[in-house]
Amino acid sequence: MVEIKTNGELDAMREAGRIVARALAAAEQVAAVGVPLTALDEAAREVLRAAGAGSPFLNYRPHFAATPFPAVLCASVNDTVVHGIPGAYRLRDGDLVSIDCGATLDGGAGDAATSFVVGTPRQADLELVETGRAALAAGIAAAVPGARMGDIGHAIGTVGRAAGYGILADFGGHGIGRQMHEDPPVPNEGQPGRGFRLRHGLVLALEPMFTAGGADAYVMDADGWGLRTVDGSRATHSEHTVAITDDGPRVLTLL
Ligand code: MG
Ligand code: MG
């Protein structure tokens, strides 16, 4: 069931979203060559704790997972596209890192992700990350009342395909509200003018996931969480929680 939020609920979600933005910024700030991924999770945990926010990631166990997720943040490095567990791995020069974090506060949830390079970047990685951000921006621009879900997917997918990237199969964005994952699903490709009609008060997490090698398929890590590219190529993930409003798209997960 798709829930339409009141303006008061949107304001509550904005507070949760601001905490997510702070947690991501704190995690990115500690990311450096030689730093273990656990330190990124700890930085995000501290932000949630200080804000009195809950984590929708910690102990999350969707249908595809064999074990509950053990952290408040996903850290996906290089060929891991999404859902990486932030473990003991120490970051190396040139690593491409995607971090994804959520928060719940006063009945509202927020969900956002960003990608960046640690140390000396490869030009191809910078272009991949930039294209993911551009696709997210295009999806946000399409998130207006009267448009259709297919317009968002079309906007996101067109940017990724034009660059020759793959678009991770089976995973995409989602509705969000009290829970992190709500209806409706938000595919990263779509037909313009088709699908669910967007209206004021609908809140969606938009999240392009692109693979540099061009394949849409993935392989799952032995831990049952991390999703890797089939060819070892690198990947990018960017996400914002966005409210559709009569005044235009309202991004709830900005600082
Ligand atoms: Mg997310
Ligand atoms: Mg999400």
The whole-number pLDDT of residue 34 equals: 98
pLDDT at 63 over 90: no
DSSP state of 64: T
Q: Calculate how far, in angstroms, residue 111's C-alpha sits from the geometric centre of ligand 1.
A: 5
List CB-based neighbours of ion ligand 2 within 5 Å: 111, 205
Q: Calculate how far, in angstroms, residue 22's C-alpha sits from the geometric centre of ligand 2.
A: 17
Q: Calculate how far, in angstroms, residue 176's C-alpha sits from the geometric centre of ligand 2.
A: 8
Q: Calculate how far, in angstroms, residue 197's C-alpha sits from the geometric centre of ligand 2.
A: 20
Structure tokens of 203? 């809140």
Q: Calculate how far, in angstroms, residue 239's C-alpha sits from the geometric centre of ligand 1.
A: 6
Spatial CB neighbours of 207, under 8 Å, sequence gap ≥ 6: 113, 136, 172, 173, 186, 188, 237, 238, 239
The whole-number pLDDT of residue 1 equals: 87
Q: Which domain holds residue 75?
A: 7-251
For residue 55, being part of any structural domain is answered with yes
For residue 221, being part of any structural domain is answered with yes
Structure tokens of 44? 């995000």
For residue 179, being part of any structural domain is answered with yes
Q: Calculate how far, in angstroms, residue 239's C-alpha sits from the geometric centre of ligand 2.
A: 7
| Segment 178-234, tens digit of pLDDT | 999 999 999 999 999 999 999 999 999 999 999 999 999 999 999 999 999 999 999
pLDDT at 23 over 90: yes
Task: Say which CATH number the domain at 87 has.
Answer: 3.90.230.10
Domain total in the chain: 1
DSSP secondary structure, 27-63, as one string: HHHH--TT-BHHHHHHHHHHHHHHHT-B-SSTT---T
Q: Enter the pTM of the model.
A: 0.98
Q: Which ligand is nearest to the CA of 101?
A: 1
For residue 2, being part of any structural domain is answered with no
Structure tokens of 181? 């994952």
Summarize the confidence of residues 234-255 as an average pLDDT. Answer: 98
For residue 1, being part of any structural domain is answered with no
